[in-house]
Chain A
């Protein structure tokens, strides 16, 4: 009961525009004080506020943002887009489709949707705006594309799921491939639909001449070099994905030198921007972790299990309820804390009903993805908001709507046709 009140208070505070970090954090602390006393509540605030930031794992956030910023400020990103534009800009929604493809590509070496959205908004947003896309479509495409990172291997979410449920992580990665590709295809379909419904917001350009195209491809060398260093280094075993972020930063700086575009002021701007963006994102992470502890302490997860049991549904009914809970929780929780909180509680239920745990893993991760972009609150949309402060949040949510619809279709497919997730692992 108390936990439901805290959810109501939290939403009230959020809509009064209390910063998200402060709203989740303060409701979390008050709730924890109710359940465990002030000593324990304050100790958790201090502990989370220090442990979350004295952490190697989360350094990936500023580093990938920084790499994106340097790429964006050095003109590399513009080149990439100019080249792509010359190649497929004349197609309907060509540049938006490129963005989805780039997100998918970036996802293959970045396990975090947080970082994918942050990086791609630095690279893709300015170019899409320059070529006449509306803010709505541009941000929607990036926020949605960012969620691809969570399913396409390597995926931090699947690693956590595998550890909790003792499912083979390698098999989970393989199982995620087809649903991930379906995601890319459906997003592209969504873009084509948008381009027919609102041609003005998603323009097609003029067809470039053969000569222009050739010149464009030649321009791509710098960007390709950076991507191949970062990707190649991971695949040939020189460094871990976490380290690739740092190598990417140094590589990007080096490239700006090579091309004679290094400029101290720009470098400072890129660093300052990255620091500010990361600070507001990590603040949200702290608030969200505190709130997750409250949900944990309240025994809410166990109450939900009892409730689901009392409904007496079959597997599909139970899955439906579980997915609904995910969409609800995604409003306030970051994906990893959501998984940590819910998977241990839910997987014994579905497992006892005979569901394959690899299949459930994919269902859970896709549901988590949707919650990251669905209104009223979705963490990926906040990432965009923080990187692009001039864009209103409601514009982002409007833009993301078609992709949420596409995702719901995909989730239904995955739930109804288990072999989509299982065919590659059997």
Chain B
């Protein structure tokens, strides 16, 4: 029968491992499983900016997209559950648990209703990276300028007298090299991936992450309908929890690699956060967790139940 060629919005560098070993590999698997009836081809340049991955698929600008939920703050309040600190010790396991929670609690409430969801996953947890001063206890954060990604992290760190600086990842190198900021809150894998690790002399690892990112892999509904039920089943067999886990695993592997490289260079200056620092961080993030439960209720989801389920699934995988 005829070949259906789908267009993937390639906004991330096509040579990055998340693409080569993750999505592009999945696309190849889809092509093989459907005996060439469904092909997914990356666009030569982005068809839509990173902030519009989801809407581009809804509108048919792109047929398939991968992207972080957090790039459109406010639009996916439920996804923020996996972004809270300390839960993400291993991105593969967290991604599996996330996929299960998504299906059981979030999807029925109408999240991702206007697309076909192929996967949801988390990326590796963020640590604190600083240029000149080590962060051993909470008072070391006093007065530091730290680049943060989300208002949740920004508001929490403000309570510890951090001066949060917003700014795009592209500007990170410039900010660090010119001393505009004292440090960042990033995952180790992003730090080395963006080649800014050479400006960092101290790392404080936050077990389970200071924050995590939630991401989706989605397909346009009309295009999905054009695929035969047999091929749909074949694709779903490759997607879902399997694809979510694959993406999470890649993140974990690369984060472990980056961590090893940083540890080799920094020695004792790569440290795990002290219990005292963890307890301070727990306190300052508490209001955000409370707030999320209210948001979830507005979306028609019992937030406490979903959070408990997510954690029990994680616990079961240990």
User: Which residues of chain B are within 8 angstroms of A292 by Cβ–Cβ distance?
Assistant: 45
Q: Given A36-B61, A296-B45, decide whether A240 and B171 contact each other with a Cβ distance below 8 A.
A: yes
B178–chain A nearest beta-carbon distance, Å: 4
- Asked if B180 contacts A341 (CB within 8 A), the reply is no
Residues of B59-89 at the interface with A, using a CB-CB cut-off of 8 Å, are: 59-61
The interface bits of chain A over 139-182 (1 if a CB of B lies within 8 angstroms of the residue's CB, else 0) are 00000000000000000000100011110110000000000000
- In the complex, are the beta carbons of B13 and A163 less than 8 A apart? yes
The answer to the question of B1 belonging to the interface, with a C-beta cut-off of 8 Å to chain A, is no
A317 at the interface (CB under 8 A from B): no
| Interface 9-residue window, one of B47-55, B109-117, B254-262 | B47-55
The answer to the question of B14 belonging to the interface, with a C-beta cut-off of 8 Å to chain A, is yes
Quote the shortest CB–CB distance from A282 to chain B (angstroms). 16
Contact B43 A297 (CB under 8 A): yes
Known pairs A159-B170, A168-B195, A297-B7; A302 contacts B44 (CB<8 A): yes
Q: Which residue from B170, B180, B195 sits with its C-beta under 8 Å from A237?
A: B180
Q: Interface SS of chain A: helix, strand, loop or mixed?
A: helix
- Asked whether any CB of chain A lies closer than 8 Å to the CB of B267, the reply is no
Within 8 A of B (CB), among A67-92: none
CB-based A-B contact count at 8 angstroms:
72
> Complex Cα distance A165/B195, Å?
13
Given A40-B59, A51-B51, A159-B170, A164 and B180 contact (CB-CB distance below 8 Å)? no
The reply to whether A301 and B44 contact each other, CB–CB distance below 8 Å, is yes
Bound complex: CA of A47 vs CA of B13, how far in Å?
22
Contact B59 A296 (CB under 8 A): no
**Known contacts A39-B59, A164-B13; A293/B44 CB under 8 A:** no
Judged by a CB distance under 8 angstroms, whether B173 is at the interface is yes
Query: Which residues of the other chain, A, contact B290 by a CB distance below 8 angstroms?
Result: none
Nearest residue in A to B11 (C-beta to C-beta)? A340
Which residues in B have their C-beta under 8 angstroms from that of A342?
44
Q: How far does the Cβ of A347 sit from chain B's closest Cβ, in whole Å?
A: 9
Looking at the complex, which one of B48, B60, B171 makes contact with A47 (CB distance below 8 Å)?
B48
Q: Which residues of the other chain, A, contact B61 by a CB distance below 8 angstroms? A: 36, 40, 43-44, 47
**Interface size of A by Cβ–Cβ distance < 8 Å?**
35
Contact yes or no, A296 B180, CB < 8 A? no
A386 contacts chain B at the CB level, 8 A cutoff: no
Q: Which residues of A contact B48 (CB under 8 A)?
A: 44, 47
Instruction: Decide yes or no: A296 and B47 within 8 Å by CB, A40-B59, A43-B59, A237-B180 being known contacts.
Output: yes
Q: Which residue of A lies closest to B52 (CB)?
A: A47
Q: Determine how close the nearest CB of chain B comes to the CB of A157; give it in whole angstroms.
A: 13
Please tell me if the beta carbons of B195 and A240 are within 8 angstroms of each other in the complex: no
Contacts of B151 in A (CB 8 A): none
Kindly provide the distance from the CB of A374 to the nearest chain B CB, expressed in whole angstroms: 22
Residue pair A239, B13 in contact (C-beta under 8 Å): no
Nearest A-chain residue to B46, judged by Cβ = A340
* CB under 8 Å from chain A, chain B span 92-106: none
Q: Name the B residues within 8 Å of A389 (CB-CB).
A: none
Chain B's interface: helix, strand, loop or mixed, by majority?
A: loop
B174 an interface residue at 8 Å Cβ cutoff? yes
Q: Is A276 an interface residue (CB 8 A)?
A: no
Q: Are B45 and A239 in contact (CB under 8 A)?
A: no
Are B45 and A341 interface neighbours, CB within 8 A? yes
B220: shortest Cβ distance to chain A, in Å?
Answer: 9
CA separation between A56 and B167, bound complex, in Å? Answer: 10
Check A345–B195 contact: CB distance below 8 A.
no
Choose one: B45, B55, B171; the contact of A340 (CB below 8 Å): B45
Contacts of A199 in B (CB 8 A): none
List the A residue with the shortest CB-CB distance to B220. A40
Instruction: State which size class the interface on B falls in.
Output: 20 to 34
Interface assignment of B179: CB less than 8 Å from any CB of chain A:
yes
Within 8 A of A (CB), among B150-195: 168, 170-171, 173-175, 178-180, 195
Within the complex, what minimum Cβ distance (angstroms) separates B61 from chain A?
Answer: 5
**B291 located at the interface, meaning its Cβ lies under 8 Å from any Cβ of chain A in the complex:** no
Contact of A344 among B44, B55, B173 (CB under 8 A): B44
- Residues of chain B with a CB closer than 8 A to A345's CB: 44
A37 at the interface (CB under 8 A from B): yes
Contact, CB under 8 Å: A237 / B179: yes
Chain B residues with Cβ below 8 Å from A168 are 195
Let me know if A134 is at the binding interface, CB within 8 A: no
Q: Nearest chain A CB to B55's CB is how many angstroms away?
A: 8
Interface residue? A234 (CB, 8 A): yes
How far apart sit A100 and B150, CA to CA, in the bound complex (Å)? 44
**CB neighbours of A341 from chain B (8 A):** 44-45
**Is A98 interfacial (CB 8 A cutoff)?**
no
Interface: A337 (CB within 8 A): yes
Please name the residue on chain B nearest to A338 by beta carbon.
B45
Residue-wise interface mask of A (313-349) relative to B, using a CB-CB cutoff of 8 A (1 in contact, 0 not): 0000000000000000000000001001110110000
Residue of B nearest to A54 (CB): B51
Contacts of A293 in B (CB 8 A): 47
- Smallest CB separation, B97 vs chain A (Å): 32
Give CA–CA (A159, B61) in the complex, Å.
27
How many angstroms between the C-alpha atoms of A292 and B45 in the bound complex? 9
Instruction: Indicate if the CB atoms of A237 and B178 lie closer than 8 Å.
Output: yes
For B194, give the chain A residue with the smallest CB separation.
A163
Residues on B with C-beta less than 8 A from A169 are 173, 195
CB contacts (< 8 Å) of B46 on chain A: these are 340
Contact between B59 and A166, CB atoms less than 8 A apart: no
Distance in angstroms between the alpha carbons of A39 and B47 in the assembled complex: 15
CB distance from B38 to the nearest CB of A (A): 17
Shortest CB-to-CB span from B173 to chain A, Å, is 7
Q: Which residues of A contact B178 (CB under 8 A)?
A: 234, 237, 240
Contact present for B45 and A337 (CB under 8 Å): yes
CB nearest neighbor in A for B10: A344
Assess whether B13 is in contact with A51, with CB atoms less than 8 Å apart.
Answer: no
Which residues of B are found within 8 Å of A166, using beta-carbon distances? Answer: 13, 15-16
- Kindly list chain B residues whose C-beta atoms are within 8 Å of the C-beta of A337: 45
Give the contacts of A34-77 with B (CB-CB under 8 A).
Answer: 36-37, 39-40, 43-44, 47, 51, 56
Contacts of B179 on A, CB cut-off 8 Å? 237
Q: How far is the CA of A56 from the CA of B61 in the complex (A)?
A: 24
Sample of 20 further A-B pairs with CB below 8 A, known A43-B60, A165-B15, A297-B47: A37-B60, A40-B59, A44-B61, A47-B52, A47-B55, A51-B51, A51-B52, A56-B168, A163-B13, A166-B13, A166-B16, A237-B178, A242-B171, A296-B43, A296-B45, A296-B47, A302-B44, A340-B45, A340-B46, A341-B44
A-B contact list, 13 entries, CB within 8 Å: A36-B60, A36-B61, A39-B60, A43-B59, A43-B60, A163-B13, A163-B170, A164-B13, A240-B175, A242-B171, A297-B43, A299-B41, A344-B45
3 tightest Cβ-Cβ pairs between the two chains A and B: A237-B178, A43-B59, A237-B179
